Amino acid sequence: MEGVKLGTRKALVVGIDDYTVVPLNGCVSDASDVAALLSKNDDQSVNFDVLLKTSKTNTISKSTLKQWIIDCFSGDDEIALFYFSGHGYIDSLGGYIVTPDYAPADWGISMQDILSIANQSLCKNKIIILDCCHSGYIGAINTLSQDTAVIKEGVTILTASKSDESAMEVDNHGVFTALLLEALKGGAADITGNVSPGSVYAYIDRALGPWEQRPIFKTNVKRFISLRKTNPPIDIAIVRKLTNYFSEPSVKLPLDPSFEPTNDKNIEHKVIPPYSNQANVEIFSDLQKLESVGLVVPDGTQHMYYAAMESKSCKLTTIGQHYWHLVKSNRI
């Protein structure tokens, strides 16, 4: 991929609509939308160096596409990502992503070839995302009538459907890619705003019902990397205060009416001592924001308001304890 320096994040994004038989309508649009999101984070900082190839502007043959894939996974970049939207095909010999110059018994690029290229790559993280029929075949090698997944370290695969399923379209757009786009926009982001391949799969899997196409996720990584950085749902500065408010993950933080801002003598309603004070009100505001993202819960009551007014307490959730440890170890 021209102009891509080592140590960067690069992505090859391909969309094909123009097939002689059974043309498609939304793959070029889907690929263009994926490319736009991958190229920038929410704060408009550079994310992936994207090479977008679509049948609208390029002649995409089997040989040219295979060379682009080889180029994508060449070098020793931090991340090499390949996304494809188009036709998929499966026969007794394997699965294929179909190119417009296909012919019987020569349908396009073998999914096994794509996996082999990724497996041999020196890039630290290799990600393959396929939105096509039968895409779940990738990573399953038919050997003596047994399906055996061979995925080397650093490789992650996310596909629209199982090997025996078609990929659904709605209003001329792939259902899988529509959900992928929403996930990348922030639907699959964690508390810090990072979207990982695992969280993308979880988001898509939850959105699709049990009787619809099933996405496939296969990976062999030690830790997930971020595909995109979105605006976090809570100010990270507030998350970093977890260790200030809770001395240990299992410790409960006592509350009283002084934390509730409406418990003020200047407001005409029933108030009880101790009356609100600004320091506690500011802490309580942070705690309520932490509650809104599932890191803190009131203890002994359903609402933070009553936890304060009834002098109860609040505590960290399991995920809150996880983020407490991240803050304590200076990882966020």
- C-alpha separations of 197 from 9, 33, 119, 158 in Å: 15, 18, 17, 8
From first to last of its 332 residues, the chain has per-residue pLDDT tens of 544 443 489 999 999 999 998 898 899 999 999 999 999 999 999 999 999 999 999 889 999 999 999 999 999 999 999 999 999 888 888 889 999 999 988 999 999 999 999 999 999 999 999 998 777 667 665 543 444 448 899 999 999 875 555 555 666 677 889 899 999 999 999 999 999 999 999 988 888 766 566 788 999 998 889 999 999 999 999 999 999 999 999 999 999 999 988 887 776 767 788 999 999 999 999 999 999 999 999 999 989 999 999 999 999 998 899 899 989 999 88
**What count of Cα atoms within 13 Å lies in the side-chain half-sphere of residue 222?**
2
Please give the Cα distance from 186 to 188 (Å, whole number): 5
Please give the Cα distance from 41 to 226 (Å, whole number): 11
* Burial of 281 per CB tally in 10 Å (0-12, 13-18, 19+): middle
Domain 9-229 sits in CATH at 3.40.50.1460
CB atoms under 10 Å from CB of 188, counted, come to 25
Q: Where are the domains of the chain?
A: 9-229, 236-327
Least Cα distance to 204 among 175, 167, 171 occurs for 175
What element of type H or E holds 91?
A: strand 88-91
User: Would you say the pTM of this structure is higher than 0.75?
Assistant: yes
Q: What are phi and psi of 299, to 5 degrees?
A: -110, 120
In our burial notation (b when 16+ CB lie closer than 10 A, e otherwise), range 126-164 reads bbbbbbbbbbbbbbbbeeeeeeeeebeebbbbbbbbbbe
